[in-house]
Chains A and B, each alone.
Chain A
Amino acid sequence: MTTAAPGRTLTLRETGPATRGTRPDEVVVVVSPAFAGSFTKTIVDVPHAEVLRQLLAGIEEQGVTARVVRVWDTADLAAISHTGAKLSGSGIAVGMLSRGTTMIHQRDLPRLSNLELFPQSPLLDAPVFRQIGSNAAQYAKGESPQPVPTRNDQMARPRWQAKAALLHLKEFECIRAGQPPVEVEPVFGRAG
Chain B
Amino acid sequence: MTAVEPQQSVRTGVLEGRPVNLDGFVEEWPEKGLVAMESDFDPAPGIRVEGGRVVELDGRARADFDFMDTFIADHAIDVASAEESTAIPSAQIARMLVDPGVSRGEVLAVTRGLTPAKILDVVKLMNVVEIMQAMQKMRARRTPANQAHSTSARDNPVQVAADAAEGALRGFAELETTLGVVRYAPLVAIALQVGGQVGRGGVLTQCALEEATELELGMRGITAYAETISVYGTESVFVDGDDTPWSKAFLASAYASRGIKMRFTSGTGSEVQMGNAEGRSMLYLEIRCILMAKGAGVQGLQNGSISCIGVPGAVPGGIRAVAAENLVASMVDLECASGNDQSFSHSAMRRTARLMPQLLPGTDFVCSGFSAVPNADNMFAGSNFDTEDYDDWNTIQRDLQVDGGLRHVREPEILQARDRAARALQALFAHLDLPPVTDAEVEAATYANSSADYPPRDVLADLKGAQAVMDRGVTGLDLVRGLETTGFSDVAQNLLQVLRQRVSGDLLQTSAVLTADFTPLSAINDANDYAGPGTGYRLSGERWEELKKLRHVTSAEDPEREVG
Q: A: which residues have CB within 8 A of B?
A: 75-76, 112, 152, 154-166, 168-169, 171-172
CA A168 to CA B276, docked complex, whole Å: 10
Contact among B26, B34, B314, B346 with A155 in the assembled complex (CB-CB below 8 Å)? B346
Looking at the complex, which one of A76, A155, A165, A171 makes contact with B311 (CB distance below 8 Å)? A165
A168 touches B275 (CB 8 A): yes
Tell me if B343 and A155 are in contact (CB < 8 A): yes
Q: Which residues between 1 and 44 of chain B lie within 8 Å of chain A, taking CB atoms?
A: 22-26, 29, 32, 34
Q: A165 contacts B34, CB within 8 Å?
A: yes
Interface SS majority for chain A = helix
**Is the pair A166, B34 in contact by a Cβ cutoff of 8 Å?**
yes
A162 near B310 with CB under 8 A, answer yes
CB distance from B269 to the nearest CB of A (A): 7
Q: How far, in Å, is A25 (CB) from chain B's closest CB?
A: 31
Per a CB cutoff under 8 Å, which of B29, B272, B308, B381 touches A152?
B381
Contact indicator A165/B272 (Cβ below 8 Å): yes
A75–B275 touching, CB < 8 Å: yes
Specify the chain B residue showing the minimal Cβ separation from A168.
Answer: B275
Residues of A within 8 A of B381 (CB): 152, 154, 156-157
- What are the 4 tightest A-B residue pairs by CB atom distance, in nearest-first order? A154-B382, A161-B310, A162-B314, A157-B310
Q: How far, in whole Å, are A163 and B381 apart by their CA atoms in the complex?
A: 18
On whether A157 and B273 interact (CB within 8 A), knowing A162-B25, A162-B314, A163-B24, the answer reads no
Distance of A168 Cα from B308 Cα, bound (Å): 14
Quick check: A162 and B345 within 8 Å, CB to CB? no
Most chain A beta-carbon contacts within 10 A, residue among B22, B29, B311, B378? B311
Told that A159-B346, A161-B273, A162-B314 touch, could you supply 9 new A-B pairs with CB distance under 8 A?
A75-B275, A155-B343, A157-B309, A162-B24, A165-B273, A165-B275, A166-B34, A168-B275, A169-B29
B178 CB to nearest A CB, Å: 13
In the complex, A112→B310 CA distance in Å? 24
| Whole-angstrom CA separation of A156 from B381 in the bound complex | 9
Q: Name which residue of chain B comes closest to A172, CB basis.
A: B275
- Which listed residue (A156, A158, A159, A169) contacts B34, Cβ 8 A? A169
Does residue B542 face the partner (Cβ distance < 8 Å to A)? no
- B24 and A158 within 8 A (CB): yes
Q: Which residues of A contact B311 (CB under 8 A)?
A: 161-162, 165
Complex CA gap A163/B342 in Å reads 17
The reply to whether A166 and B382 contact each other, CB–CB distance below 8 Å, is no
- Chain A residues contacting B34 (CB-CB under 8 Å) are 165-166, 169
Please determine whether B26 and A162 come into contact, CB atoms closer than 8 angstroms.
yes
Chain B's closest residue to A75 (CB) is B275
Q: Which residues of B in the span 93-134 have a Cβ within 8 Å of any Cβ on A? A: none
Residue among B24, B314, B382 with the most chain A CB within 10 A?
B24
Query: Using Cβ atoms and an 8 Å threshold, which residues of chain A touch B345?
Result: 158
Per-residue CB proximity of B303-316 to A under 8 Å, as 1/0? 00001111101110
Q: Which of A112, A159, A165, A172 has the most CB atoms of chain B within a 10 A radius of its CB?
A: A165
* Interface CB pairs A-B, < 8 A, 20: A75-B275, A156-B381, A157-B307, A157-B344, A157-B382, A158-B23, A158-B313, A159-B23, A159-B346, A161-B310, A161-B314, A162-B26, A163-B26, A165-B34, A165-B269, A165-B311, A168-B273, A169-B29, A169-B32, A169-B272
Query: A161–B282 Cα gap in the complex (Å)?
Result: 15
Given the contacts A157-B382, A168-B275, A162 and B315 also touching, CB distance less than 8 Å: yes
> Whole-angstrom distance from the CB of B276 to the nearest CB of chain A?
9
By a CB distance below 8 angstroms, the chain B residues around A155 are: 22, 343, 346, 382
Chain B, residue nearest A154 (CB)? B382
Chain A nearest Cβ from B415, distance in angstroms: 27
Is the C-beta of B356 less than 8 angstroms from some C-beta in chain A? no
Question: Are B242 and A161 in touch, CB under 8 angstroms?
Answer: no
Whether, in the assembled complex, B368 has its beta carbon less than 8 Å from a beta carbon of chain A, the answer is no
- CB nearest neighbor in A for B27: A166
B50 at interface by CB-CB < 8 Å: no
Distance (Å) between the CB of A117 and the closest chain B CB? Answer: 13
A165: which B residues are within 8 A, CB to CB?
A: 26, 34, 269, 272-273, 275, 311
B310 lies within 8 A of A158 (CB): yes
Q: How far is the CA of A105 from the CA of B275 in the complex (A)?
A: 22
Chain B residues with CB below 8 A from A172, complex form: 275
B346 engages A158 (CB within 8 Å): yes
| Cβ–Cβ < 8 Å partners of A159 in chain B | 22-24, 310, 346
